[in-house]
A and B are shown apart, each in its own frame.
Chain A
Amino acid sequence: MTHDHHHHDHDHPHGSDLTPVEARVRALESLLVEKGYVQPAALDALVEMYETKVGPHLGARVVARAWTDPAYRDRLLEDATPTIAELGIGGRGGEHMVVVENTPEVHNMVVCTLCSCYPWPVLGLPPVWYKAPAYRARAVIDPRGVLTDFGVGLPETTRITVWDSTAETRFMVLPMRPAGTEGFSEEALAALVTRDAMIGTGLPLSPGAEIQP
């Protein structure tokens, strides 16, 4: 084997790689840590929280409770933030929540036309499509077409209402309880509630079609 003339004079020929964006993020983080604006442990805790703890399983609990407890449902539609907090759910990104209820007459759908405002405490962080220009624009112009793309066909008589979330007010949809779920426990009902059902781009699963863990 011949000596490689391009070999670096370091004793470690294979350096590591950071992409330009990774290096930029590290640059910002190291500067902010030095200046005392952020703490590495706090950043790690935030990431862990949104990767493992906060997500649509929390919104599903709210929906299941509303389906089984009419007084809870009434409070939820009247004043969502404290009613959601009754289940120990709340916090940043959900300071002012509004829940809108689907009925046979009205189907609700949520968008953020400005950017990607989303009810973090109940749904976690938004999916990629929610942040895309196509959804933001089309949800307003052609909501029925969007629903068709998501595989949701509604009766022609069902009106579609689109709600525009903002940093101040974030909407969540209370979907209709699926048929054939009489006597289901809250836990069994929650398993039918998908993220998209709470954005309004989907419907709850039918009994027997639960997502298996």
Chain B
Amino acid sequence: MSAPRPQGPFAAPWEAQVFAMVVSLQEAGLFTWGEWAEALGRTMRPDGAGEQAADYGRWLETLERLLAERGVADGASVEARTAAWLRAAHATPHGEPIVLGNDPELAKRG
């Protein structure tokens, strides 16, 4: 007999990565938990739409906005890097680890 074990708190690996990035950035001093909760609360209440869940999709949205607001990463660089990852995935044989270096555009530029 033992105490109930924790169930997996993340539905997908990307959720865990978002959580870990937010905790790391808070501990690095980029924002306080009060600022985070306030920003997350705003994301969850978009103008003209119903209140949303505080899920990791909203965490991701909030993180992106805070990074832009704090001058860490603007929207354009996030978009460009996202596109690079999608190209890298497409160029990576199935079953092999996807690394950014597999982006063919990067190879052309390099």
Contact = CB atoms under 8 A, between A and B. Distances in A.
Given A14-B94, A27-B81, A114 B63 contact: no
A16 B55 contact: no
| Interface magnitude class on chain B | 35 or more
Contacts, number: 194
A29 B60 CA distance: 11
A125 interface: yes
A158 B64 CA distance: 45
Contact of B92 (A15, A31, A128, A167): A15
Interface in B1-42: 1-11, 14, 16-21, 23-28, 30, 32-34, 36-38, 40-41
Given A54-B6, A115-B40, A125-B19, A31 B73 contact: yes
B86 A115 contact: no
Contact of A17 (B4, B21, B89): B89
12 contacts: A12-B94, A15-B92, A21-B60, A26-B82, A28-B63, A32-B73, A37-B30, A43-B24, A46-B24, A112-B54, A125-B9, A125-B19
Interface of B: 1-11, 14, 16-21, 23-28, 30, 32-34, 36-38, 40-41, 44, 50-55, 57, 60, 63-64, 67, 72-73, 77-78, 81-86, 89-96, 98, 100
